[in-house]
A and B are shown apart, each in its own frame.
Chain A
Amino acid sequence: MTEHYVRDFQTFASNGAAGAPAWLREIREGAIARFAELGFPTMKQEEWRFTSVAPIAETRFTLAPAAHSPLPAPAEVERLQLGAGPRLVFVDGGYVRGLSSLAGLPNGVYAGSLAAALQAGPSGELARAHLTRLAHWRDSAFAALNTAFLADGAFVHVPAGCVLAQPLEVVCVATAGGSDGPKVAHPRGLIVVERGAQAVVVETFASLGDGVHWTNAVSEVVVGEGARVEYYRVQREGRRGYHVATTQSRQERDSYLGLHAITLGGTLARHDITTVLDGTGAELILNGLYVLGGSQHADHHTVIDHARPHCASHEFFNGVLAERAHGVFTGRIIVRPGAQRTDSKQTNNNLLLSTEARADSQPQLEIHADDVKCTHGSTVGPLDPTALYYLQSRGLSPETARSLLTYGFAAEILGRMRSADLRDRLDRLVRAELA
């Protein structure tokens, strides 16, 4: 099943990607070899116990031609934007300048195509210093496949001390499978926020059309010393889309990262999030929400790696599962030897709205230091009947009471988002999904 990707890679390497620098070509070669070696994971592997990627492995996906015409209309893309600030638009993994808008970005900030940045200049050097350094393609078949087909992507560089006033949005659109069969795109993101800088970045994944397609995304987020980053990731692809993503972040000392992952779309979605707190005093909020219905399946694997002492992490993941949906959550907190005074809290709550819905939750603690405060909690259950009864006794209809409580459950996660505008937009999005 991996052979045709290797063949596609050979075509890709000899055609479109030939312009890439030599170091990148070398990484790609290594990555495709690693992918061929690893193959698609099976449910026998501990990390994939609850998620079968057989539908992906058994479908013949061909590489989507990046940013091909006809391009989507600007209105269609604007609709997908959460705010009204600057945006980078990618269609099937390729940057589209005509649909993007970069007005309002301060001087010195680079936001644009990774392919262009790699061509030359200081941005290319910077990209080289960070690209593929965090996302471990040696360990993951999907990250390896993405890396093998690495051609373009979003590159955001906020230099030291710079503050972005408005959220910067990256919109990745899949123009899903038309007559020429299922397509795969490998979007890539690299966000580097240097010392003392501040930024809010939103990455949205969506599909236009309702064909079968697969998005295999990798994003790397580097947060410098004392920097503050809010990173929103919204996945709202079509109900016939397959979505596999790897997000890796690394924080230096005294930095703050708020990572918010919202999963609403896709028939099968898997998101691996790995965050490393690699400097003393770093703080992380890892906040996630999945709202699923139909026969949707979403699997979140998170790792919070406390590599240095005096760091704090707070993780909250809520899942709303209706109809035959299946939600999987695996969250691991690692406290490395010597990472004393770690304060870590992890919560995963799942709401089952139907008897057919299913939730699997595996919160995990791996602790190698003694002076730490670590807790985790996990719940799975239906709506509280006493709360429903109370609301009905106050005159609400059973349906209203039910939807109010469900919304309240999801809103817990939204409430932790610091940017009020984005929070409102996401709130509307989630309510539409719940309705």
Chain B
Amino acid sequence: MTSIEAQVLQPYKYGFVTDIEADVVPPGLSEDVIRLISAKKGEPAWMLEWRLKAYRNWLKMAEPHWSNVTYGPIDYQAISYYAAPKQRPALESLEQVDPKLLETFAKLGIPIEERKRLAGVAVDAVFDSVSVATTFRETLAKQGIIFCAISEAIREHPELVQQYLGSVVPYNDNFFAALNSAVFTDGSFAYIPKGVRCPLELSTYFRINASSTGQFERTLIIADAGSYVSYLEGCSAPVRDENQLHAAVVELVALDAATIKYSTIQNWYPGDEAGRGGIYNFVTKRGACRGQNSKISWTQVETGSAITWKYPGCILQGDNSIGEFYSVAVTNQRQQADTGTKMIHMGKNTRSTIVSKGISAGHGQNTYRGLVKILKGAEHARNYSQCDSMLIGDQCGAHTFPYIDVRNSTAIMEHEASTSKIGEDQIFYAKQRGLSAEDAVSMIVNGFCKEVFKELPMEFAVEAQRLLGISLEGSVG
């Protein structure tokens, strides 16, 4: 082991279990379970129909295995598709939220109580299958912004949900999206009206607590013409020996001149050093730049999960629309990540930027897989992609699989990738200037990721840097 590789392991910090009475449906998936979920949510008939349609389609689909990750078979009948903390049905105020839940989110550092106003973030907290609290709703409502749990939106804003749900990720899009469409339990819904600049960062915090459950959340964000919203999601889960499935779907819709900035800090339980346990994170995220001059920007910091399999993408339909993807993915120990983006250029003068930074340590396997597709009508489309990988240790792997498909000769597309390691000479230099080896590594890694971190909202950039330090501990030093 070189001096860069040796350092103590720090256990996963968010691995505690909240002891709370939960309402869990027995494991298994059938039309009855879907009806039960739908009934528990008090959903209208059209929603149930849509779920069943997705389920029937899912039955005909096969689990995809083209990604560059390996895992044992998933038994979809052994998963419980609904788990909720036992509670009174309707919440009037935060005082009614179970203090244990508040405590859980306080432990995670999530400002769920409104007195943490200074944080300036509106939070929707999702615990297992249900949303437990959404803060700052009145402040947002004054501007006409709707920010609530999606199950609530289905009941209270059916016209918006019906118009947009499944319009970006159809119920039959892929195996995991179909599964999600059939059984999704909660998630966030946001609607920003015309011309409104959302005054707060919107945020959802996802927590898996119960064992043998899967989390299937669904997020839908609609930015009407000329509006702006910045949205952040964070995730964590307790330490368990089993693998838990997380199959989410996120849909973004940006109309004329609207901007959506979507940031993710994903820190699901990654499993232990032998690769036992951890979350399977199989997620479909897609944004549609429907309007002219619209913009969708994805920023993700992926440090957790045993397996990450996600490709947040942008469909650039509107002329002059912009798609961006900034990603830092860290795989340590036995983690595997196959992640990247899809940029589909349809409108004229559409532009996309991809910056992906992969860091592999331990036995981690990190794959960038991305698609840039420039269709015939996308006159003067422009893409720039940059994928850099950093390897720490000689047991890990870094892979880059970009797919580039250009069908318009006025388009310009550039892709660059590089792979490197932290050199002993770089560490030596830093140490010679008085830095410890740990500080030197952290400085080099942070410098490597800087282009992505600068895209995150400030508070989260700090959080991301800290998280990165923790994730890499044990591999560097």
Q: Are B397 and A363 in contact (CB under 8 A)?
A: no
A376 within 8 A of B: yes
A372 within 8 A of B: yes
**Least distance between B272 CB and chain A CB atoms (Å):** 23
A358 within 8 A of B: yes
Task: Tell me the bound Cα distance from A371 to B395 in angstroms.
Answer: 11
Q: Of all chain B residues, which has the CB nearest A321? A: B409
Taken residue by residue from 325 to 369, chain A's Cβ proximity to chain B (1 for < 8 Å, 0 otherwise) reads as 000000000000110100000000010111111111111111111
Q: Provided the pairs A358-B407, A370-B393 are in contact, do residues A363 and B413 lie with their beta carbons within 8 angstroms?
A: no
Give the contacting residue for B394; candidates A365, A370, A373; CB below 8 A. Answer: A370
Q: Are B420 and A378 in contact (CB under 8 A)?
A: no
Q: Provided the pairs A360-B404, A363-B402, A364-B401 are in contact, do residues A373 and B409 lie with their beta carbons within 8 angstroms?
A: no
Give the contacting residue for A370; candidates B66, B407, B416, B421; CB below 8 A. Answer: B421
Q: Provided the pairs A377-B416, A378-B415 are in contact, do residues A370 and B406 lie with their beta carbons within 8 angstroms?
A: no
Taken residue by residue from 409 to 434, chain B's Cβ proximity to chain A (1 for < 8 Å, 0 otherwise) reads as 11111111111110000000000000
A382 within 8 A of B: yes
Give the contacting residue for A367; candidates B392, B395, B419; CB below 8 A. Answer: B419
Q: Are B408 and A367 in contact (CB under 8 A)?
A: no
Q: Are B400 and A376 in contact (CB under 8 A)?
A: yes
Q: Are B398 and A365 in contact (CB under 8 A)?
A: yes
| Chain B hits for A355, CB < 8 A | 376, 408-410
Q: Are A377 and B415 in contact (CB under 8 A)?
A: yes
B50 within 8 A of A: no
Q: Of all chain A residues, which has the CB nearest B424? A: A371
| Chain A hits for B413, CB < 8 A | 378-381
B399 within 8 A of A: yes
65-83 of chain B: CB within 8 A of chain A: 66
A399 within 8 A of B: no
Task: Tell me the bound Cα distance from A337 to B407 in angstroms.
Answer: 37
Q: Provided the pairs A376-B417, A377-B415 are in contact, do residues A352 and B409 lie with their beta carbons within 8 angstroms?
A: yes
**Least distance between A197 CB and chain B CB atoms (Å):** 34
50-70 of chain B: CB within 8 A of chain A: 66
Task: Tell me the bound Cα distance from A350 to B409 in angstroms.
Answer: 10
Q: Provided the pairs A352-B409, A365-B419, A376-B417 are in contact, do residues A370 and B400 lie with their beta carbons within 8 angstroms?
A: no
Q: Of all chain A residues, which has the CB nearest B382? A: A381
**Least distance between A351 CB and chain B CB atoms (Å):** 9
| Chain A hits for B403, CB < 8 A | 360, 362
B405 within 8 A of A: yes
Q: Are A367 and B398 in contact (CB under 8 A)?
A: yes
A interface secondary structure, majority: strand
Task: Tell me the bound Cα distance from A46 to B67 in angstroms.
Answer: 11
Q: Provided the pairs A353-B409, A358-B407, A380-B404 are in contact, do residues A364 and B399 lie with their beta carbons within 8 angstroms?
A: yes
**Least distance between B161 CB and chain A CB atoms (Å):** 35
Task: Tell me the bound Cα distance from A382 to B402 in angstroms.
Answer: 20
**Inter-chain contact total with CB atoms closer than 8 Å:** 113
Q: Are A378 and B404 in contact (CB under 8 A)?
A: yes
Q: Provided the pairs A359-B406, A366-B397, A380-B413 are in contact, do residues A372 and B376 lie with their beta carbons within 8 angstroms?
A: no
Q: Provided the pairs A362-B402, A363-B402, A379-B415 are in contact, do residues A371 and B421 lie with their beta carbons within 8 angstroms?
A: yes
Q: Are A367 and B416 in contact (CB under 8 A)?
A: no
Task: Tell me the bound Cα distance from A424 to B393 in angstroms.
Answer: 47
Q: Of all chain B residues, which has the CB nearest A373? A: B420
B391 within 8 A of A: yes
| Chain B hits for A352, CB < 8 A | 406, 408-409, 411
Taken residue by residue from 368 to 401, chain A's Cβ proximity to chain B (1 for < 8 Å, 0 otherwise) reads as 1111111111111110000000000000000000
**Least distance between A207 CB and chain B CB atoms (Å):** 29
| Chain B hits for A375, CB < 8 A | 416-419
| Chain A hits for B257, CB < 8 A | none
Q: Provided the pairs A46-B66, A353-B409, A381-B411 are in contact, do residues A369 and B404 lie with their beta carbons within 8 angstroms?
A: no
Quick one: which of A340, A373, A380, A381 has the most chain B CB within 10 A?
A380
**Least distance between A360 CB and chain B CB atoms (Å):** 5
Task: Tell me the bound Cα distance from A361 to B383 in angstroms.
Answer: 14
| Chain A hits for B401, CB < 8 A | 362, 364
Task: Tell me the bound Cα distance from A248 to B286 in angstroms.
Answer: 41
Q: Of all chain A residues, which has the CB nearest B414? A: A379
B389 within 8 A of A: yes
Task: Tell me the bound Cα distance from A374 to B419 in angstroms.
Answer: 5
| Chain B hits for A357, CB < 8 A | 409
Q: Are A361 and B409 in contact (CB under 8 A)?
A: no
**Least distance between B395 CB and chain A CB atoms (Å):** 8
| Chain B hits for A376, CB < 8 A | 400, 415-417
**Least distance between B350 CB and chain A CB atoms (Å):** 15
Give the contacting residue for B399; candidates A353, A360, A367, A381; CB below 8 A. Answer: A367
Task: Tell me the bound Cα distance from A373 to B389 in angstroms.
Answer: 11
**Least distance between A428 CB and chain B CB atoms (Å):** 27
B179 within 8 A of A: no
Q: Of all chain B residues, which has the CB nearest A342? A: B419
250-306 of chain B: CB within 8 A of chain A: none
B396 within 8 A of A: yes
Quick one: which of A50, A363, A370, A375 has the most chain B CB within 10 A?
A370
Q: Provided the pairs A355-B409, A358-B406 are in contact, do residues A365 and B415 lie with their beta carbons within 8 angstroms?
A: no
Task: Tell me the bound Cα distance from A373 to B408 in angstroms.
Answer: 33
Q: Are B406 and A365 in contact (CB under 8 A)?
A: no
123-147 of chain A: CB within 8 A of chain B: none
| Chain B hits for A356, CB < 8 A | 409
Task: Tell me the bound Cα distance from A360 to B375 in angstroms.
Answer: 12
Q: Are A367 and B402 in contact (CB under 8 A)?
A: no
Quick one: which of B393, B411, B417, B420 has the most chain A CB within 10 A?
B417
Task: Tell me the bound Cα distance from A340 to B391 in angstroms.
Answer: 12
| Chain A hits for B419, CB < 8 A | 365, 367, 372-375
| 18 interchain pairs, CB-CB under 8 A | A50-B405, A337-B394, A355-B408, A356-B409, A361-B415, A362-B401, A363-B400, A367-B398, A370-B392, A370-B394, A372-B391, A374-B419, A376-B416, A377-B414, A378-B415, A381-B412, A381-B413, A382-B410
Q: Which 3 residue pairs spanning A and B have beta carbons closest together?
A: A352-B409, A370-B391, A381-B412
Other A-B contacts than A340-B394, A372-B421, A375-B418, 10 sampled, CB-CB below 8 A, are A355-B410, A359-B405, A363-B400, A365-B419, A367-B389, A368-B397, A373-B419, A374-B419, A379-B413, A380-B412
